Structure 1
Amino acid sequence: MSFFNKMLASVGIGAVEVNTHLEKSSYYPGEDIRGVIHIRGGNVDQNVDRIYVKLMTEYIREHDDKKFTESFIIAKVKLSDSLVVKQGDKLEIPFEFPLPLETPLTLSRQPVWVHTGLDIEYAIDPKDRDFIEVTPHPYTSVALDAVSELGFQFKKATCEHHPRLGRGLPFVQEIEFYPGREYASRITELELIMYLESDRLTVLVEIDRRGRGLSGWLERSFDMDERQCRMILEKSELQKGPTYIAEILKNMLDRQI
């Protein structure tokens, strides 16, 4: 193959192409993601050091009163060692990996995607990006339904930089709700951070209280109008359904406000 074609391939012209086909587009944390990577050889033989897929998302970091969006690799799976993709080759590489339990939900357009890459020395690496929808795990779904049963309405969800609370991640996903009629006079906002495990769900609950009169003004002035608490919901409790969990949450809210 000519030197000219090799030079073109090194900058991506006539080079190896990669395209990933996922079994479906919607998953919940803990579910297996399955797909096939389709690789098509270019105009020259090329040495591929490795093939990998990464699960990625974004979070917001604040610095000097400015907000920045940063990408983060939640998981990376190596699918092959070095190989040669010959001119005109057509390869298929199936893969499967579990969607990590800490994967954020794709609420409020939170992006989560599968990034496929081929490492090729001295050349532009071929890449593919496939966005997926991440829906609530059955445990998380019970908790969210419980919040809804108490009349709270979804406001927004954001992934914010917070390594102390991230449990190994540099961010947490904060899910915010407006209060319904029962709590409208006492709560301005309810915020949840959820940690999913195989046998339980831990929920950090932050209550933004609606202060009244002089005492309310003082609380707001000194940032004392927020209350934080935690619920640890075991699998056996979650299996009892949203109404049971709603009663636990209601008792907690009533104690705090």
Structure 2
Amino acid sequence: MVFKRMLGALGVGGPSVDTVLATPRTQPGGTLAGEVRLKGGDFDAQIEHITLGLVARVEMEHGGGEGSGVGEFTRSQVSGPFTLREGEERTIDFQIPVPWETPISEIGGQHLNGMALGVRTELAVAKAVDKGDLDMVAVEPLPSQLRILQAFLQLGFHFKSADLELGHLYGVRQELPFYQEIEFYPAAQYAGVVGEIEVTFVAGPGGLEVILEADKRAGRYSGDAIGRFQVSHEDALRTDWPSEIDRWLTGLAQYGHHAPHHGEHYGHHDSHHDSHHGGHYGHHDSHHDSHRGGGMGIGAVAAGAAAGVVGGLVAGEIIDEVFEEDEGGDEEW
């Protein structure tokens, strides 16, 4: 999908820009390739730079309520300064990196309800910056992530929705300033044990950190049960995930505060335990993060990215009309 618009920074008669993706699908840790097509207007224009940014709709809390905004979470400059002559047509090829923690928006060709990702073109012309066209992009799961998601379907779970939460996961090295929650309705055999389950991936070159959060309804404690483990991409492909997940879920009805398994760390807590542990073991919002500063292993680059995405969030409705066209869900996903 290509969105054409005249650059408002220069008004009528200014240059126009289109960004065309060679392949509108990618994976975390992959690349996006394509070309930026420029056409000169009625006069010469001094182009200072062309920058592409990946943007996503993010859920956030503000003023005691909840809302959503659209934030840019990574940027790549694809051109430096040049002069675009009157009426000139110019094409700039690009290949930009996709962060490992980029959220999943499509599985098996089916869009995940609730997800909206795009590539935004920014053209700086004569000291004015115009955020040009926006192109939808689909991010498919890595094979290691797909194996885990498929395991929930094999166990009888049903996909509900997915969203991005602004904030950091406690105790997890996280580069992006938000995390994805992929939510499933419980399978019939676990209905008395757990309610809905949320799956979060924090991917890196070497593997995955997987966080499972279940609404626990059986056993000694009620509240949120958290399962956390790390696995390499290779080991994830060799693991019998339906058995692993079933074992963890079954254990929730038996264990109290901790449910260890195979040396992995699985924990459980509710609001009572949170008061002793300094906040949720799994999920945090920006309020919690503000009290932890750099103690979460987030480096200066990540801190800068967080500041950028928070500062870059805009009212969701500004861009909803672009995203809503690909918001349709699918029965399976």
TM-score, normalised via structure 1 length? 0.85
Please state which structure has a larger fraction of its residues in strand: 1
Alignment of 1:36 onto 2:35: yes
Deviation readout 1:83-131 (Å, 9 max, x if unpaired): 1111011101000022211111222241111111210125462611101
* Matched residue, 1:251: 247
Aligned partners of 1:17 and 1:42 also within 8 Å:
yes
Structure 1 residue 181: deviation in Å? Answer: 2.0
Deviates more, 1:226-235 or 1:164-173: 164-173
Q: In the alignment, which of 87, 111, 134 is matched to residue 129 of structure 1?
A: 134
Alignment of 1:163 onto 2:168: yes
Structure 1 residue 34: deviation in Å? Answer: 0.7
SS at match of 2:150: helix
Aligned partners of 1:207 and 1:227 also within 8 Å:
yes
CA–CA separation in structure 1 for the residues paired with 2:31 and 2:151: 27
Q: Larger relative contact order (C-alpha < 8 A, sep ≥ 6)?
A: 2
Deviation readout 1:169-219 (Å, 9 max, x if unpaired): 22211111111122112111111111112221211111212248xx7xxx5
1:13-24 correspondence to structure 2 within 5 Å: 13-24=12-23
Q: Which runs of 5+ in 1 are unaligned?
A: 1-7
Structure 1 residue 80: deviation in Å? Answer: 1.7
Q: Which runs of 5+ in 2 are unaligned?
A: 1-6, 106-111, 254-333
TM-score, normalised via structure 2 length? 0.67
Aligned partners of 1:15 and 1:43 also within 8 Å:
yes
SS at match of 2:28: coil
Question: Which protein is bigger by CA-based radius of gyration?
Answer: 1
CA–CA separation in structure 1 for the residues paired with 2:226 and 2:198: 9
1:72-111 correspondence to structure 2 within 5 Å: 72-106=71-105, 107-111=112-116
SS at match of 1:110: coil
Identical positions, percent:
28
Moved over 4 A (4+): none
SS at match of 1:231: strand
* Matched residue, 1:139: 144
* Matched residue, 2:200: 193
Q: In the alignment, which of 201, 206, 215 is matched to residue 208 of structure 1?
A: 215
* Matched residue, 2:44: 45
* Matched residue, 1:239: 237
* Matched residue, 2:187: 180
Aligned partners of 2:162 and 2:182 also within 8 Å:
yes
Deviation readout 1:141-193 (Å, 9 max, x if unpaired): 01101122222111111111223458132221111111112211211111111
Aligned partners of 1:28 and 1:137 also within 8 Å:
yes
